[in-house]
Structure formats: C-alpha cells, structure tokens
Amino acid sequence: MCGISGYICNKGVQRADIERMNHCIQHRGPDDSGVFINSKKTAGFGHRRLSIIDLGGGHQPMSNEDETLWITFNGEIYNYQELRTDLAERHHFRTKSDTEVILHLYEEKGAKCLQYLRGMFAFAIYDQRTEELILARDHLGQKPLYYFHEGDEFAFASEIKALLALKPQLCELNPEALYEYLTLRIITPPRSMFKRIRKLSPGHLLIFHKDRVDIQRYWNLKYEPKIKGDLSEILSELEDQLQSTIQYHLVSDVPVGAFLSGGMDSSLIVAMMSKHVKEPINTFSGDVPYENYSEIPYARIIAAKHKTDHHELTINPSLIRTLPDLVWHLDEPSDPLSVCMYHLSELTHKHVKVVLGGDGGDELFGGYDRYYGNILANYYAMVPDTIRKNVFEKLLKLFPEGFWYRSISHRLKWMHQMSFYSDAQRYAKSLGYFYFSDGFKNALYTARFQNMVGMFDPERCLARYFDSDNADNAIDKMLYVDSMTRMPDHPNMILDRMTMAHGLEARSPFLDHKLAEFCAKIPANLKVKGTKRRYIQTELAKKHLPSAIVNRKKQGFNSPLPYLLDDEFKLLYSIFLNDSNLVADGYLNQHAIKYLLNEHVSKKADHGNRLWLICNAEIWYRMFIQNETKENIRENLLTHSHHSKSSENNVQNQQI
C-alpha cells in the first residue's frame, strides 16, 4: 500500500514538482520515497512506500529491464506469485515484488494485463518510447485515483491534496459535486468536490497520449446467468470461494492482523483466516461506550474461540479534536464513521502493518434494510394513492419523530414516501431519504446555486445502474447500484483514508472481484429472503460462528455516535451554521438552515443527518476553498468548546 503521483507537461516537469506532491501523501508511505523524471523532463512519477512485499527490493518508481517502461503502483496483487512463475520463463526479475510483475505483464499484454490481476490497485505506467501514459483503478474501487487534464498537462495522485500542492489554482468548488453530496452523501465519478479534478471510476483504465484522454471500462459485475443447484451445493461453493479468497489476502512479508467488531462479516473473516495461519492472529476491536451498544463482548467470543492476540480500544470520540484532521485526510466532507475508524487504525498500526476487515459483505449478500424495504414498498403501493395520501399520511403525522434512523417512525414514513415512486427512481430516492431530497432543495439552495447545477440530476447517476441489463431481479439491481456507487465512494473511501492516515494497509476479502463475480450470480432469494437479510451468508456463518454472533442484530460501528456526540454536534452547528461561508458566498440560504436547526434542537423533527452534511460541507469549504488551515479550525473549535464549558460551569455555580 502506498501513495502515487505523477505529472506530464511539455513545458517541463521539475523534480520539485513531484517532491511537492510526494510530501503531501507521505502518511500513505512512511517507509520509502522515490522520484522518476524522464530524460526530456516532460514526465515525472512520485511514490511513497509502505513496505509489505519484498521489503528491501520494492523501491518505486520502478522500470523494466531496458527502462522503456516506468510504473508507480499503490496496492497489492494477491496472485502475483503465480503470475511471476509464468513470466519468469521469459523475463529477468530484479526484485521479488508484485510491482515488477505488473510491469512485465504489461510488456506482454498491454492494457489487457488488467484481466489477469487479482487485488486492489491504482497504478500508472509510462512508456518512454510512445510517450503514452496508462492509469488503472481496481475493480471495486478499493484504491483511489484522481487526475487533472488541461491541454498538454496531465497530473494524477492517490489523494487530491497532492494535485492541489502541484496546482493550488485547482482549489475551486464543483457545484455539481456539492449538490450531489447534499442529496446522496456521496460523490460519484468522474466528479470530485473540485471543479477541474476528476476521479477515475472503479474497473476503468485511462490512456493519456498526445494531449488526449481516453477512458475505457475493463471490468463489470454481471448478475446473470444464475448459478444452478440447491442451497447446500451453492453454500459449499461459496465456502470454498471465500476460503480461497482469504488465503490470497494473507500474502505478505509482514504480519497480517484483522479488525474484529463482533459482527458477522469480521467474525467470519477471522474464523476462516485462523485456518490458514500458524501464529495467533492480532485482532483489533473498538468500543464506543454508550448504554447497551458495546460490541466488545461479541468480539471477545470470537477472539477466545480462535485464540487471537486481541487488542481493544475504548473510543471516546471527539469531533472537536479530530474533525479537522478527518476532513484533511478525506479531501472531502467527513462522516461520523471516520472518527471511529481513525482511532482504531491508530491503535492497529502500533502492532501490524496489514489488517483484514469485513467491508463489502452488505453489498455482496444484501445486508441493508432498504433491500427488503423497497420490495415491501411494492406491496404497500398497491393501496390506492388517495387512501395513502388522505388517510395514512395523516395518521403518520401523529407518530412522534424518531431521532434514530431505524426507529418505527422513520421506517413507516420512509415506506410511505417510497410507495409513490417505482423501480430506479424509488431506489435513488430511498438512498437520499435522510438527506436533502426534493422537498428541501428550493428552500435551502439559492437561485444562483440552482442555476449553477442546471439540469444535473444526482439520482440519475444511480438510476443508470439500476436500469442496466447487468441484473434482472430487483434485489440484484439494488446490489449493483450500491457496488458501483455507494460502496466505492463511501465505505471504501473512508476505509482507505482513515487507515492510510496511520500508514496501515486494510484489505477486504469480500471486495475480491472473483468472489464478487460468484456472489453476484447467487440467486437473489438466497441473499434476501423475505425480511431476512444475508440469508446464504448466515447459513455459512452457522458452520463457523457461535449462535451468539449469528443471531445478533446488525448494529454498525458508528451507531451510538449521534447520542454520544450530541453536545459536540450542537457546538459544531452553532459555530459553523450560524455564520456559514457557503451562505455568504451565495450557495445556501441562512433562513433554511436556521429553520432546520430550530426544528432539530426543539425535537420537532430529526434533521441530524442533514445538518451534519451542511456542517461538514462548510468545514471542507473553509479548509480547501478558502485555505483556512486545519490548525486554525481546530483552535476555533477548542476555543468555543472551552467557552461553552465555562458558561455551563457558571450556570451550575449560580444554581448552587
């Protein structure tokens, strides 16, 4: 795992340009750094290395034997050893690294080399003979890759901040991305929050040659034809596939640990991982102390069963202290989940360099309530519109507001609203229900902002996947949308940034593209069966996990945060929403923000997610567009926090 960067410009590329980019992403690769500049000084690569494979010989950027090809590579190729065995018959290897395998494979196959790679990756290869550059990003978007192109200039990097270091003038807000973020909480490729910086889509390659960019899809996920056989046969094959995938993910020259939440995904990874290792596995759990939300007892069950070297961290998260760092590492507005992952990664890095996790299980097996919820909405929609609008809608208004996304009130209101849509539109609406759906936009967005985005429709970015012919069944269509959009642009993005912030490599066996291809073709009714989510995964888990793990309710790492951080949320809102620069610069309406804030604080309506989105967009805007340092923002937060506590103490003293 590493950080990569590069710059091509006919006017000249200086070593200082690449060094500047490298410096910004040194946290991704604290073990080594390297720079390549071609003889014409028109192309340069940078690399920051986290040494995992071939610790002494994997220095990058790396060339082939005659130095006609150069590569800078971020990620791991899990099947590199078998590829190397074949290539060694025709090539001379100078290292034992997976990086050199990609180079020689590219020499033979060109861009078709991507068909042979099994792993997570983002890399660039420059051909000095043709002056052609190729970029590639892995199948399901585990590794990030951003780029800038204007005329004969082309630059790329693992993180946006490296591009901004090269060209500070790129600090320009992308109105469409802000609009999409506030609608769906994600930013889908090719957009980024910066107007002239683009994101390469997962499963795609980019060729830059003679000032032109050509982007091609090299892989897609198909859900048909379905696997034949009964449950026991498919279950047996799934077990074999997952065991093989986990074995591949253990390829490393340094010890490999595992995140262990006590949930089904991470517990299954640890249980199956233990069959392939001789030494005790280092496992890591984070606990957010709030009432009955602790997952530690479940993690301890798995740790004891498999005799792991278990490490626990009690996380007392503070957005006041960490939020500026989170936004800086993400290059985009933050998410509460980032806080917990950030601290757990900090602990994990003290013991191992590589860690396996359970990310991706929800999208493979149907782990979210919305999958069966959208199906149930079909049945509810059979009730005539007039009855739903004139009778049920009035009854729902009598329900108290549920300040928790899985409350009965939220579920019923969600179902009611979704019943007035169908198919792709319904699924897109269901993903944006807790954010700024149509009913909020006219009040919140200024006419100027709405003119900027014009006819851009964020929901259409999701609907095009739902409407594709890659899947026939409604459940599969929803899984496909999530696998192509939400997964790479939310949980994958957070996992990469928060682990790499501490120089930690996170691997996700459930995101292996070969396993994903197999799971996509499992019949949909073996994934979501009525209201039973993850049906076939649960059957597999019964073979490997105690009943206490299999039968527990899905919780989620960040579930208690809205309660635990309630006071900090209020402080953030008072600092950043009462005096918003997004308002001052003509994007949002202050009266709409105050209305949401007043309703939320007075418990009339739950706008927690909406306020969080605006607040983070505001902090991001100040840091990246208006160049306010994260140190200044942190100092501002700490000062207001101190004044707030002093005021509370004064009130308490007066009462005494």
Domains of the chain: residue spans and CATH = 2-217 (3.60.20.10), 231-366+484-550 (3.40.50.620), 369-480 (no CATH), 565-655 (no CATH)
Cis-peptide into 562, omega within 30 deg: no
Using an 8 Å Cβ cutoff, are 611 and 588 in contact?
Answer: no
Q: How far apart are CA 174 and CA 182, in angstroms?
A: 13
Type of residue at 575: I
Using an 8 Å Cβ cutoff, are 487 and 186 in contact?
Answer: no
Q: Which of 186, 175, 184 is nearest to 453 (CA)?
A: 175
Q: How far apart are CA 656 and CA 650, in angstroms?
A: 10
Torsion of CA 469, 474, 475, 479, to 10 degrees: 40
Residue 645: per-residue pLDDT? 60
Residue 650: per-residue pLDDT? 45
Residue 320: per-residue pLDDT? 85
Read off the pTM.
0.95
Low-confidence ranges of the chain (pLDDT < 70): 1, 290-292, 336, 402-406, 555-564, 643-656
The long-range contacts involving 384-392, CB below 8 angstroms and separated by at least 24 positions, are: 385/420, 388/416, 388/419, 388/420, 392/416
What's the distance, CA 428 to chain centroid? 18
Q: Which of 241, 143, 138 is nearest to 506 (CA)?
A: 143
Q: Which of 414, 419, 421 is nearest to 606 (CA)?
A: 414
Query: What tokens were used for 170?
Result: 């790129």
Using an 8 Å Cβ cutoff, are 80 and 88 in contact?
Answer: no
Residue 651: per-residue pLDDT? 38
3-state secondary structure 182-229: HHHCCCCCCCCCECCCEECCCCEEEEEECCEEEEEECCCCCCCCCCCC
Q: Which of 234, 261, 273 is nearest to 535 (CA)?
A: 234
Active-site positions? 2
Q: Show the beta-strand stretches assigned E in 417-568.
A: 505-507
The CA-atom distances, in angstroms, between 13 and each of 6, 42, 308 are: 10, 5, 50
Decide: residue 653, CB within 10 A, 0-12 exposed, 13-18 middle, 19+ buried: exposed
Could you tell me which residues are beta bridge partners of residue 146? 157, 199
DSSP secondary structure of 51-68: --SSTTT--SSEE-TTSS
